[in-house]
Amino acid sequence: MKKRIHRVVILVNSLKEEAIDLLGEVKSYLQSRAVDVEVIPVDEAKVPTVPPNMDLAITLGGDGTLLYGARILAGCDVPILAVNLGDFGFITEVSRTEWADALEKYLEGRLGVSRRIMFEAAVQRSGRMLQSFSGLNDAVVRAGDFARVIALRVHLSHTYVARYRADGLIVATPTGSTAYSMSAGGPILHPEMDAFVLNPICPFTLSNRPIVIPADETFELEVEETQRTQIVLVVDGQEVFDLQPKDRVVFCKSDKHSLIIQSDKRNFYEVLRSKLNWAEEPHA
In tens, the pLDDT along 41-60 reads 998 778 888 889 999 999 99
Residue 243 and residue 134 in one domain: yes
Residue 146 and residue 224 in one domain: yes
Per residue in 187-218, pLDDT (tens digit) is: 999 999 999 999 999 998 888 899 999 999 99
User: Is residue 234 included in any domain, yes or no?
Assistant: yes
Residue 58 and residue 158 in one domain: no
CA 59 to each of CA 23, 24, 49, 80: distance values in angstroms, whole numbers, following the listed order: 10, 13, 16, 7
Per residue in 82-135, pLDDT (tens digit) is: 999 876 667 887 888 999 999 999 999 999 999 999 999 999 999 999 999 999
Active-site residue flag, 21: no
CATH number of the domain bearing residue 91: 3.40.50.10330
Which ranges in the chain belong to alpha helices (H)? 17-31, 63-72, 99-107, 180-183, 268-275
- Candidate list 63, 138, 167, 247, residue with the active-site label: 63
pTM over the 0.75 mark: yes
The number of folded domains in the chain is 2
Strand-pair category, 80-84 with 56-61: parallel
Residue 128 and residue 82 in one domain: no
Strand-pair category, 128-135 with 113-125: antiparallel
Residue 123 and residue 250 in one domain: yes
Rounded to 5 degrees, what are φ and ψ at 167?
Answer: -70, -15
**pLDDT-based confidence at residue 279 (cuts at 50, 70, 90):** low
Residue 172 and residue 242 in one domain: yes
